[in-house]
């Protein structure tokens, strides 16, 4: 294993959580209109796909009337 050549004083390690940098990060760039439109279209497409799967899948999962009558007659 590699060892550090210089020891780190414990007080430095203990005070590291209180250290605050005086360097401010650059401001965030605002999203353009096309980016906002693209994000909203992707979201709407995902919601429409989930709703469509639900609409198409629910009739397939519900038992039909003929299957219910056969089950009640014991066939």
DSSP code per residue over 4-45: -SSPPPHHHHHTGGG---SPPPPPPPPPPHHHHHHHHHHHHH
Q: Categorize the per-residue pLDDT at 12 as very low, low, confident or very high, splitting at 50, 70 and 90.
A: low
- Residue 42 CA to residue 34 CA, distance in Å, equals 12
Mean pLDDT of all residues in 29-58: 95
Question: Alpha-carbon Rg of the chain, whole angstroms?
Answer: 31
Provide the pLDDT for residue 74. Answer: 59
Note the pTM of the prediction, 2 decimals.
0.50
Residues 44-69: pLDDT tens digits?
999 999 999 999 998 888 877 665 55
């Amino acid at each position: 294993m590699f060892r550090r050549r210089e020891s780190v004083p414990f007080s430095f390690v203990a005070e590291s959580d209180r250290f605050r940098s005086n360097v401010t990060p650059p401001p965030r760039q605002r999203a353009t209109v096309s980016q906002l439109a693209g994000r909203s279209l992707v979201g709407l497409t995902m919601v429409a796909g989930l709703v469509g799967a639900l609409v198409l899948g629910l009739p397939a999962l519900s038992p039909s009337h003929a299957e219910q009558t056969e089950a009640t007659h014991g066939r």
